[in-house]
Structure 1
Amino acid sequence: MRIRATLNALAVRLDGGETPEALRKALADVPNLPLEVEVSGSVGIEVLQALAEIGQERGITLRPPRGERLIPYTEVVDHTLRAGNRIESPGTVVVLGDVNAGAEVVAGGDVIVVGKLRGLAHAGATGHEEATIWAMSLEAKQIRIAQHFAQAPAGSTSRGPERARVVEGAIVLEPWGRKKP
């Protein structure tokens, strides 16, 4: 169990394994503020009943568990991907080379290309909208982040190192790695 004070309440996180007695004791020793409770582990009915009793006196709000970003691992590809190559990973993929036209990189996390990205890159393939695509030279005809996709305008050229991310439901490209004037 973790308890911390916020501006107008006490944030209580139940991790599982708490007892009603431990909950009552912990909350007796802190200021009498409303409770914002997050249950992130398995708790028994007795703990929930004790929490409900305490909440009747103080006020209580239940919050969903914080979305903890779990990307299983980072996969490093130490060569250029040629047409027909496909890399798929539940985590982040780093390509130390180019991703040529006809090659695909599909990642649950970010896609990072230390070279030219001309093939298909799909970051956040499991629905993770905070994923990004980074490339030293972003020349792909299409990129995808979660369920969003963007196509390069006809005749577009790379402007140097860029990052693609989702902003207000659309993929935007931003320069990165260069000092601002």
Structure 2
Amino acid sequence: MNVRTVTLLSVLIAMQIVLSRFLSIHTWNTKIGFSFVPVVVAAMLFGALEAGVVAAFGDIIGAMMFPVGAYFPGFTLTAFFHGIVYAMLLKKKASTGRIILAVLIVQIAGSLFLNTYWISVLYGSPYWPLFFTRIYQTFVMSFVQIAVILVLNHNVIPRLKNVI
């Protein structure tokens, strides 16, 4: 890893923090926003470890600097998982099918199942009622993420690859 890569990853972490903490809608059990964009960019440009680091460091630093509720390491693990999944499916070939698959895995396995579990543990809420209230968020964010990643893949990533 060279200085340029570290610098670009740092910028992506900063973007992830801003998008997550200031440009997202938060409630105690849901979050709707675009903080996935820097993680996806890191995944498509650099790979799994880098995308996981952007997601995890963005979560840790954001939680320390701008807390929204209590910090819980389970959310950091889920964020790292999101970066890994995006990179595994989108680094080499980001076809529409792979984009849809990546988003569905991230949203269903990560956001719906894992994050619901973490919220249940953190707040002592029953898992299944919480799970059912989070289905709507998962549904909405799946469509948002697919649309945004398709735009990134066709318009932004090719330009960034030429610059990097």
TM-score band, normalised by shorter chain: under 0.3
Q: Higher helix share goes to which structure?
A: 2
Larger radius of gyration: 1
Q: Which has the higher contact order (CA 8 A, sep 6+)?
A: 2
What TM-score, normalized to structure 1? 0.23
What TM-score, normalized to structure 2? 0.25
